[in-house]
Structure 1
Amino acid sequence: MTEIDKKIQKTIPSSKVQRVSRFVKVGAKVSTNYIKHYAKTVLDNDYSGKEELHKENATDVYEALSELKGSALKVAQMMSMDKNMLPQAYIEKFQMSQYSAPPLSLPLVNKTFIKSFGKAPYELFDTFTKEAVNAASIGQVHLAEKDGKKYAVKVQYPGVAESVSSDLKLVKPIAVRMMGLNEQDVNHYMKEVEVMLLSETDYELELQRSQKITEACKHIKNIYFPNYYKEYSSQKILTMDWLEGKHLNEFLETNPSQEIRNKVGQALWDFYDFQVHQLKEVHADPHPGNFIISEDGLLGIIDFGCVKEIPSDFYRNYFDLMIPENMNNEEKRKSVFASMRFIYDDDSESDKQFLDQLFKSMISILARPFHHDTFDFGEAAYFEEIQALAENQENQNILRKSKKPRGIRDGLYLNRTYFGLYSILHQLEAEVKTDSIFFK
C-alpha cells in the first residue's frame, strides 16, 4: 500500500472560528511568500525563483488543508486531477490528498466507534491497526481482522459533514485566485460541489450505493469489488472486504506488460461505459487512490462515496453531440448549446461565434475515442491537443471575463469523470476497444 504521512494528527479544527483562523493564517503565509519572492526579484536581476515560490506556497496550502481535512482537502484533490489547472508543484502536493494525508490518532477513531456502536474497534474486531493504512480527504482506512478475515474499515474525520458549506465559502477565493477562474462559474458550480460533498459524508448512503452498483456491474470482465458489511457500518464508519493489490503508481513501478496494461484499461473503460449509459449514475471520483490492481491485472474498485446521478434531459443533450452528424448540423448544435447554457441569447454575435467553435472543439476532442474501434490512450499527441486547447490564452481570457456561467451544473462531475478516466488510461498507456453502449 502507499505510504502515508506519518505525522499523526490528534485534533481537527472543528469550530467555524478555528477553521476561519487557519485559512487566514495560510493566506497570510502565502502573501509573505509573494513579498519575499518579489523582493528577491528587485534585489537580484538574475533571480528567477517562480518554481521556488510555487513549492513554498503549495507546501503551506497543502499543510493547512490537510490539517483541516474534509471539503477543503477534497477540493485540492479535485484540482490535482486536472494537470492544466495548477503549477506542477501544487499538483504534486495536492495529489497526496488522494491516499496519503496525515492520519488521525487512535483516540479520535475510538471515539467515533463508541459513538456509533457503543464499542471500541478492538471489541468488534480481533485486530485493528493503531495507525491508518490510508488517509484521504473525508476519512481514513484501517486494516482489521475477525475470524481470519481481513476488512478495510473507513472512519470519517470528526466535523467533516458539519463544515462542508462553510469550508467551501472559505475555499472559493483561494480557488479563484490560484486557478484564475471565472468567478461566476465558481459560484454556479459550488452548489453542485456542496451537494456532492455532503453525500460523500453520508456513509449509510455510500453503503447502499456501493451494494447497488457493484451488484449491477459484477458481470463486467476483469473487475472485482469488495463486499460491504452493514453490521459494522454506520453514518461515520464503513466496513468492506480488504482488497489485495497495488495502487496505480505502485502497479506501474512493476513495469507491467502492454497486455496487462490493456487488460486493466479495458476493464476501466467497460466499467464506466456501463454505468453512464445503462445505470445513468456513475462513480464520479476516478482518481488513482480509488482503484486497486491485482498481480494478474484485475481491477478492484473501491469508494462509492461520490456518485453522480445523470438526469435524462442532460444525458440526451450531453451525448447527442457525440454523434458527428449532430455536431455538424449547425441548427442542432446551437439548440443543444443553448439548452446546455454554453451560449446565451444575449451574448454578442462575435462571442456566439467564438464560443460555438470553442465548445465544438472541446466536445469533438472528448468524443474522439468513441469514434474508433480501438483507441491508444498512450498517444501523446492526443493529450497535447487537449492541453493546448485548455492553455489557449484567448480561450481563457474570454471565459474568465464572462459574466455568465458556461454550462449547467450537471456537467461538472460528468466532465470530471471523463477527464479522470482518460487521465488514468493515459498513465496506463492502454490501448482500449472503445465501442460504446451509447452507439448500440
Structure 2
Amino acid sequence: MRYNALYRITIIVAMAIKFFWQIFWFQRFHRIWDERTRNKWQELLVKQAKEYRKKALMLEGLLIKFGQFLSTRADLLPPVFLKELEGLVDRVEPVPFEKSKAILEREWGGDVSKHLQEIGDEPVASASIGEVYKGKLHNGQDVAVKIQRYRVEKIFHTDFKALRIVFWLLGRLTSIGKKADLGALYRELVYVMGKELDFTEELKHSLYFKKRFSGFKGVYVPDYHEDLSTRRVLVMEWIEGVKITDESFIQENNLKREDLAKRVFDLFVEQLVSDGMFHADPHSGNLMVRSDGTIVMIDFGMVGEISKEDASYIRMIIQGFIMDDYDKVIGALEDMDFLLPYANRQKVKRLLKETADMYLQGDFEKFDQEALNQIMKDLQEFVKEQPIQMPADYAFLGRAASIVIGVLTTVYPDIDLMKWGKPVIKQWVSGGESDASLYKEVIKDTAKPLLSLPKSLNEYLTDAPRQRAFEERKQQRQMFHHYYFFYAFLSFFLFIGGGGFALYSLENLASLYMYIGFITGATGLAAFILVASVHFRTIKITTKDRRNKGE
C-alpha cells in the first residue's frame, strides 16, 4: 500500500487536516492562556509531532526528509514540535537485494559482475533515498556502493503532490499563510529534496570537498569512482572507521579527545565562516574516525552554500551595526530574503537598534536573566507580527552549527569554544590570507577603524594585562567594545541562522515560548551571553583599576 499514490496522499493530507482541526478547537475552547493551558498546548504539540514521526517511519519516502527539513525551520514551527522531529532518524527497512541489483544493472547497462568482483546482498546502511552495500572491484579494492532506493522517485513525486495540498490548506487555515511565502517555501523544498535524488549532485559535492580539504591535516574525504557513478548509483572507496563519538574506540586507540574535537572545530569553522559550500548534515555518523585519529567526512547529499553575495550582505550587516546605520542592516536582511516585502521595517530597525545599543553601552549590570527574558519576549512579539522567512541555506547553516556543537561537546565535554575561537578572530583582525575569507572581507571593507588600532589590540588576544592598560584611553576602550561587538554579532547571527530570529507560531500562540533560538542547541545564543559576561567582567576589572589610579 505504501507505493499506492492515492493511499499516500490520503494519509498525508488527512494527518494535516487532523492537526489543523485539533489546533482550531484548542484555540476555540482555551481563551485564557494560564500555566495549565500552556502545558496542555505543549502536550498537544508533542502528541502531533510523535504522530508525524510515526507516520513518516511507516510511509518512508519524503516524509522522513521533510521532517528533517522542518527540524531546521524554527521560523515555522514551535520548539517542542521541532524537538520531537530531531529524533527522526533516516533509517528504514531495507528493500530486497534483487530490486537494488536490478537498478544497479540498469544504470551500468549490464551485469554487476562486469564492474564488481563481489557485492554483499545485505546493505550496511538503509535510508529513505538510498542503500549502501559493500563491494569489491576487480582490482581488489573495497568500495561502498550507494544505490537509489526502489521506486523512491515515484514516491517523492507523489508526496510532493500531497504536500502541495497541505501547503494550500496551511495558507488558508492558519495565520502562517498571512506571514510566510508558502509558495516559495514549497518550491524551495522541491528543489532541495529533488537534488538529493540525483546522486550526480552528491558526486559534485564530494569532489568539491575533496579538493577543498586536500591539504587539511588529519582530515580525509574518500575517493569517488566517477566512471561508475550515475544519477542513481554512487561508488566510493570503502572506509574503515567508526563514528567519531564512539568512546570505546577512542579509548582503545589512545586517541586524545581534545585533539579530535579541535580538528572538527577547525574543519567546520572553515566551512561556516567562508564563502562556498558547507556540509549541512555533519552528525556523528557522517564524521568517522580512524585508528590513527584521522577524521573522515562522508555523505555530501545535504549541503548548503554561502555565496560571495551572501558574504557581502553579512559584511553590510556588520558595517551597519558598527556605523550605527540600521537602514543598511535592514537593506541587507531584505536582500538576503529574511524580510518579506510587507514587513514593518521601522519596527525591525527599532528592535535591532535597542538590542545593539544595550550591548554597546556596556550596561551589563542590568543584563540579567530578567532582561534576557524580556528580550526574548520582544523577539516573540516581533516575529509573531512581522513577515519573516528564512532561506534554506541559512536554516541549514544553523542546523549544521548546532549538530557540530553537539558532536564537539560529546567528544570533548570540557571544550572552551571562546578560547578556540580567539585565533579565528585574531586572523580576522590581521586580515587573513584568503580572499574567500568572510572575516577578511569584513575587516578590509567595513571595519577599517579596527585596522588603525595600535598593536596592543592584537596583543590583547594573547596578553590580557596589556589589554587592560590599553583600554585606559577612551578611544581605544570604544574600539575594544567594538571588538567584542563583532564577536557577539557573529554569535548572534549564528543564532539567527539556526532559526532563533525567525520563529513563527500558530495564531495567537507566540507568547507560549520563553526562549526563541534554542532549537540550534543554544549555540549562537550561548556564545552571545558568554561574550557578554566576559565583556562585563572585563569592564568591571578595568573600572576598578581606573578607580584605584584615581581616574
Deviations 1:205-246 (A, max 9, x none): 221221232122111122111111123321111111122222
Deviations 1:241-281 (A, max 9, x none): 12222225544896799983333333333333434555622
Q: Is the Cα–Cα contact under 8 Å of residues 276 and 306 in structure 2 kept in the other structure?
A: yes
- The letter of the residue matching 1:318 is I
More off after superposition, 209-218 vs 330-339: 330-339
Structure 1 match to 2:439: 439
> Within the alignment, does 1:72 sit opposite 2:63 as a pair?
yes
Correspondent of 1:399 among 363, 378, 383: 383
Residue 256 of structure 2 aligns to a residue whose secondary structure is helix
Residue 89 of structure 2 aligns to a residue whose secondary structure is helix
> Within the alignment, does 1:111 sit opposite 2:87 as a pair?
no
Q: CA deviation at 1:305?
A: 1.9
Structure 2 match to 1:155: 147
**Structure 1's 259 and 222: CA in aligned 2 closer, same or farther, altered over 3 A?**
same
Residue 13 of structure 1 aligns to a residue whose secondary structure is coil
Structure 1 match to 2:121: 130
Q: CA deviation at 1:20?
A: 0.3
1:124 & 1:111 partners in 2: Cα distance?
14
**Structure 1's 31 and 342: CA in aligned 2 closer, same or farther, altered over 3 A?**
closer
> Within the alignment, does 1:413 sit opposite 2:404 as a pair?
no
Q: CA deviation at 1:203?
A: 0.9
TM-score (norm 2): 0.58
Correspondent of 2:219 among 206, 219, 223: 223
Q: CA deviation at 1:78?
A: 3.3
- The letter of the residue matching 1:21 is T
Q: CA deviation at 1:145?
A: 2.8
2:59 & 2:384 partners in 1: Cα distance?
29
- The letter of the residue matching 1:220 is F
Q: Is the Cα–Cα contact under 8 Å of residues 326 and 333 in structure 1 kept in the other structure?
A: no
Correspondent of 1:189 among 158, 172, 185: 185
2:150 & 2:277 partners in 1: Cα distance?
28
Structure 2 match to 1:381: none
**Structure 1's 338 and 49: CA in aligned 2 closer, same or farther, altered over 3 A?**
closer
**Structure 1's 204 and 346: CA in aligned 2 closer, same or farther, altered over 3 A?**
closer
Structure 1 match to 2:284: 288
* Equivalent runs, 1:36-435 vs 2, <5 Å: 57-80=48-71, 91=83, 95-98=87-90, 100-119=91-110, 121=112, 124-146=115-137, 148-162=140-154, 163-164=156-157, 165-166=160-161, 168-169=163-164, 172=167, 184=180, 186-251=182-247, 260-275=256-271, 280-321=276-317, 326=322, 328-342=324-338, 347-348=343-344, 351-353=347-349, 355-356=351-352, 392=376, 394-402=378-386, 404-407=387-390, 410-428=393-411, 429=413, 430-431=415-416, 433-434=420-421, 435=424
1:212 & 1:438 partners in 2: Cα distance?
19
1:234 & 1:118 partners in 2: Cα distance?
11
**Structure 1's 28 and 137: CA in aligned 2 closer, same or farther, altered over 3 A?**
same
Deviations 1:347-371 (A, max 9, x none): 447633454259969xx9xxxxxxx
2:346 & 2:59 partners in 1: Cα distance?
45
Correspondent of 2:3 among 13, 21, 45: 13
Deviations 1:316-336 (A, max 9, x none): 112444579637554543443
**Structure 1's 284 and 261: CA in aligned 2 closer, same or farther, altered over 3 A?**
same
Q: Is the Cα–Cα contact under 8 Å of residues 220 and 294 in structure 2 kept in the other structure?
A: yes
Deviations 1:80-116 (A, max 9, x none): 4689966768746653424x33222223212211221
Q: Is the Cα–Cα contact under 8 Å of residues 8 and 59 in structure 2 kept in the other structure?
A: yes
**Structure 1's 349 and 78: CA in aligned 2 closer, same or farther, altered over 3 A?**
closer
Residue 144 of structure 1 aligns to a residue whose secondary structure is strand
Structure (1 or 2) with the larger CA radius of gyration? 2
1:293 & 1:389 partners in 2: Cα distance?
41
Residue 95 of structure 1 aligns to a residue whose secondary structure is coil
Deviations 1:44-87 (A, max 9, x none): xx9x9988877765554224323443432112123446899667
**Structure 1's 285 and 325: CA in aligned 2 closer, same or farther, altered over 3 A?**
same
Structure 2 match to 1:23: 12
**Structure 1's 299 and 389: CA in aligned 2 closer, same or farther, altered over 3 A?**
farther
1:90 & 1:345 partners in 2: Cα distance?
27
1:337 & 1:93 partners in 2: Cα distance?
28
Q: CA deviation at 1:122?
A: 6.0
Q: CA deviation at 1:168?
A: 4.2
Residue 131 of structure 2 aligns to a residue whose secondary structure is strand
Q: CA deviation at 1:197?
A: 1.8
- The letter of the residue matching 2:196 is E
More off after superposition, 322-331 vs 133-142: 322-331
* Residue ranges of structure 1 left out of the alignment (5+ in a row): 1-10, 38-45, 365-384
Identical-pair percentage: 20
Residue 425 of structure 1 aligns to a residue whose secondary structure is helix
**Structure 1's 215 and 174: CA in aligned 2 closer, same or farther, altered over 3 A?**
farther
Q: Is the Cα–Cα contact under 8 Å of residues 65 and 73 in structure 1 kept in the other structure?
A: yes
Deviations 1:161-209 (A, max 9, x none): 4535435425658999999898615544332332222222111222122
TM-score (norm 1): 0.70
CA RMSD in angstroms comes to: 4.6
More off after superposition, 115-124 vs 137-146: 115-124
